Amino acid sequence: MNNKKKINLIIFHPYSSVGGADLSLSKLINNLDLNSFNIEFICLNKENISRLINKKIKIHIIKSRRTFYTVFKFRKIIKENIKKDYKKTIILTNQNFANVLTYFFTINLRNKIKIIGIERNHISELNFHENFQDYFKKKILKLLIRFVYRRLDRIVGNSKELSKDLSNYLKINVLTLQNQFNIKKLKSYKKKNNIILNVGRLEFQKDQITIIKALNYVVKFRNIKLIIVGNGSKYYEIKQQIRRYGLKRHVQIIRNSKNPKKYFQKSKLFIFSSLYEGFPNVLIESIENGVPVISSSCKSGPKEILSNYKKKDFFKIGDHNELSKKILNHFKEPNYLQSKIEGIHKSFKKYDQKKISSQYLDLFLNI
């Protein structure tokens, strides 16, 4: 097909990993017609998305420790694409810092490209910090977001509250396009043991340490095992907390599981402890497998996905005392959360893969 009839879509996702963003992007890519789109994927240092997408998709891995060389290599890829004379060239960029970088990386190419920035975490992310350096970086990033996002061609949020609050901060319209799913039938499994589950990267954002602290109180009253599936920079800190509270026989960490489905199938409860989020895919997976959820009240996706939950059904961010009480209450009266699953699952039709893909297609065609 003639390039002039094709839309050139360049996806910039700096840190490709086996996570929610990669899964969402792979579904988007796989639902686009390659007769109408040329799709290329740019990431830094390594990629994990290739096993999820069509092998015809070209993947650029920019390996560089210095930002200057990253800029040079990124611009070279964009310029080479512009020369191919496509119908239009769109850069779809993911996550706040990548959205900001893309704007500055393409500063004098703006008349030849369109930039769509996807925001995958609620802006409250920038209110949480681990140390002064992190605090300072996030303050600067928040200012840059206000400057840059107004100059991009479109900003997309993956949950309603995320888009609303970001729109209020920016004073511009933010489009909501939720993550897409091939929704599966509701499943139910017979579970003998009192296993609770957490699936997610072992990072500051996911706050598994609050679960460990809550478990320290819970095991005094019930024989419960916690399985954490994930890997990340907080692994050794979490292990240290497990040793500190003497919970070694109650906690198992699975670091290299490519498919956590089997852990959902044997768990009686899923705990979601994040400090902030966008649209957490793992909650969809938990409900589809018939596993009731206790979630933090973080902004923004959990309240949207757990659509029939009341305010009292969530626990305050980082409050291990409240979480421990909710865990004990659940094992005392399991039918309360279990009864909510069917209603939540019925609401998932709004995340239908074909529906969301069609909305993205409309965006690409009309931008």
Per-residue pLDDT of the chain (367 residues; tens, 9 = 90+): 578 889 999 999 998 876 788 889 999 999 999 999 999 999 998 888 988 999 999 999 998 776 667 899 999 999 999 999 899 999 999 999 999 999 999 999 999 999 999 999 999 999 999 999 999 999 999 999 999 999 999 999 999 999 999 999 999 999 999 999 998 899 888 787 899 999 999 999 999 999 999 999 999 999 999 999 999 999 999 999 999 999 999 999 999 887 889 999 999 999 999 999 999 999 999 999 999 999 999 999 999 999 999 999 999 999 999 999 999 999 999 999 999 999 999 999 999 999 999 999 999 999 9
Q: What angle do CA 215, 262, 243 make, to 5 degrees?
A: 30
Q: How many residues in the chain?
A: 367
Q: What is the CA radius of gyration of the chain?
A: 21
- Please answer whether residues 293 and 284 qualify as being in contact, where contact means their C-beta atoms are separated by less than 8 angstroms: no
Tokens of 339: 């009864």
Q: In whole angstroms, give the CA distance from residue 249 to residue 110.
A: 57
Q: In whole angstroms, give the CA distance from residue 112 to residue 104.
A: 15
pLDDT score, position 108? 92
Cis amide bond preceding 124, omega within 30: no
Q: In whole angstroms, give the CA distance from residue 249 to residue 20.
A: 30
Q: What angle do CA 65, 66, 71 make, to 5 degrees?
A: 115
Q: In whole angstroms, give the CA distance from residue 9 to residue 250.
A: 47
pLDDT score, position 16? 81
| 3-180+352-366 and 195-348 have identical folds | yes
Residues contacting 118, CB < 8 A, separation 6+: 92, 93, 94, 95, 99, 156, 157, 158
- Please answer whether residues 198 and 273 qualify as being in contact, where contact means their C-beta atoms are separated by less than 8 angstroms: yes
Q: What is the DSSP letter of 48?
A: -
Residues contacting 83, CB < 8 A, separation 6+: none
CA-to-CA dists, residue 70 to 16, 45, 105, angstroms: 16, 10, 9
Tokens of 178: 């939720």
Domain boundaries, the chain: 3-180+352-366, 195-348
Q: Which backbone phi and psi does 193 adopt, to 5 degrees?
A: -100, 155
Q: In whole angstroms, give the CA distance from residue 108 to residue 226.
A: 52
pLDDT score, position 19? 74
Q: In whole angstroms, give the CA distance from residue 27 to residue 16.
A: 14
CATH of 195-348, one of 3.40.309.10, 3.40.605.10, 3.90.1150.10, 3.40.50.2000: 3.40.50.2000
Question: What's the pTM?
Answer: 0.93
Under CATH, domain 3-180+352-366 is a member of which superfamily? Glycogen Phosphorylase B; (3.40.50.2000)
pLDDT score, position 48? 85
